[in-house]
Amino acid sequence: MSVAFTFPGQGSQAVGMGKELADAFPEAAAVFAEVDEALGENLSTLMFEGPESHLTLTANAQPALMAVSMAVMRVLEARGFSLSQHASYVAGHSLGEYSALCAAGALSIVDTARLLRIRGNAMQSAVPVGEGAMAAIIGLEHTDVQAICDEAFVHGTCQIANDNGGGQLVISGAKPAVERAARIATEKGAKRALMLSVSAPFHSALMAPAAEAMREALAQVEMKAPVVPLIANVRAAPVTDPKEITGLLVEQVTGQVRWRETVEWFAANDVTTLYEIGSGRVLSGLARRIDKSVTGTAVNTPSEIESALAALLG
């Protein structure tokens, strides 16, 4: 039985994120200062004080979530934790994949912050506002939702963006196609088909310009082999080769986040505990719904850090 570290994606941000960590731990405050310097702005002030409308902007939320995850990691490491000794794998949900790679030593904090700022801006600008959309489909299986996307494709791009497990899938694409797919899903018995308040159709083919932007940006940074394998979003399988990881990060921009399959892979490979490192506890909740043999444990407060250390270090 082994442990994996997971890292949250967009939607887990909240005003005040990281402040308790910065106040309690100098290692955490140092991470926030390093990210601020890398971006040339006081992102930490926005994280701690808001306004929420600015924090939720994709270009801000992505590096902010990474910063909190890495703050937790640095606090754990300063107290004797070693990812290579005490965990077997890492994985992250969408942008969380960058946090996972940073935690595993594949990317520096500075490079990760800058990459996520580029990624956020590129994803936001890839599609004119109002032309794309996303919707959450609750209560249907993957094959059913895929068939619905295929049916709606006559109205434009429509595909599964996130398979979050527990009967929760998110679709993405051209607004007319996604709206049509949501109506079809309701007709076919979905418990809910909810249009999401998002600024762009993430993880769809419409993000191709952003994928190219990330291909160029990733070519400019050093990617090392992670100290433990990454379970990649678009593959739901382990990968360690830096060149392969870089290609998968590009593919991820337009590809499906296969989170259900990722947790199922953990369960099938004797991983019983997933520590969710950073803001929120979304991934811990998803883990319980996907496979009850896997325990999700959120680690983002001083008390949760102490509990995690006690469990991990014995």
Instruction: Answer whether 0.85 is exceeded by the pTM.
Output: yes
Q: Exposure of 23 by Cβ count < 10 A (0-12 exposed, 13-18 middle, 19+ buried)?
A: exposed
Amino acid, res. 239:
V
Nearest to 93 by CA among 268, 290, 269: 290
Domain extent for 162 = 132-198
**pLDDT tens-digit series, residues 231-241:** 999 999 999 99
Q: Which two tokens stand for residue 306?
A: 């102490």
Domain shared by 112 and 230, yes or no: yes
Active site residue 93: no
Which residues have C-beta within 8 Å of that of residue 185, sequence separation ≥ 6?
135, 137, 140, 145, 148, 193
Domain shared by 54 and 194, yes or no: no
Q: CATH number for the domain including 87?
A: 3.40.366.10
Domain shared by 138 and 112, yes or no: no
pLDDT given for residue 191 in this prediction? 97
Percent of the chain, pLDDT > 90?
Answer: 98
Domain shared by 160 and 238, yes or no: no
223 dihedral zone (left: phi>0; alpha: psi -120 to 50; beta):
beta
Domain shared by 100 and 224, yes or no: yes
Q: CATH number for the domain including 159?
A: 3.30.70.250
pLDDT given for residue 1 in this prediction? 83
Domain shared by 252 and 113, yes or no: yes
143, 172, 198 — which closes off a domain? 198
145, 174, 198 — which closes off a domain? 198
Look over the chain and give the mean of its residue pLDDT values, rounded to a whole number. Answer: 97
Domain shared by 165 and 104, yes or no: no
User: Which pLDDT band holds residue 146 (cuts at 50, 70, 90)?
Assistant: very high
Point out the catalytic residue in the list 12, 69, 88, 203. 203
Amino acid, res. 229:
P
Active site residue 94: yes
Point out the catalytic residue in the list 12, 94, 204, 279. 94
pLDDT given for residue 89 in this prediction? 98
Read off the DSSP letter of residue 224.
P
Domain shared by 117 and 172, yes or no: no
198, 219, 242 — which closes off a domain? 198
Nearest to 300 by CA among 100, 55, 76: 76
Residue 87 contacts residue 4 (beta carbons within 8 Å): yes
Domain shared by 229 and 94, yes or no: yes
pLDDT given for residue 199 in this prediction? 85
Number of domains in the chain: 2
Helix (H), strand (E) at residue 138: strand 132-138
